[in-house]
Amino acid sequence: MLEKEKVKGKSNTELAQDRTDLAKSRTLLAGERTYSAWIRTGFTIAGAGLTIGKALQDTGSGTIALIVGGALITIGMLTFVYAWIGYRAVYQHLLKNYGSIEENKSSFNLNMTAISFITISLLMVCILGFWIMLS
**pLDDT digits over 39-70, tens only?**
999 999 999 999 988 888 877 777 888 899 99
Neighbour tally for 21: CB within 10 Å: 15
* pLDDT value for 60: 78
Quick check: pTM over 0.95?
no
- Between 79 and 3, name the one with better pLDDT: 79
* CA pair distance 135, 54, nearest whole angstrom: 9
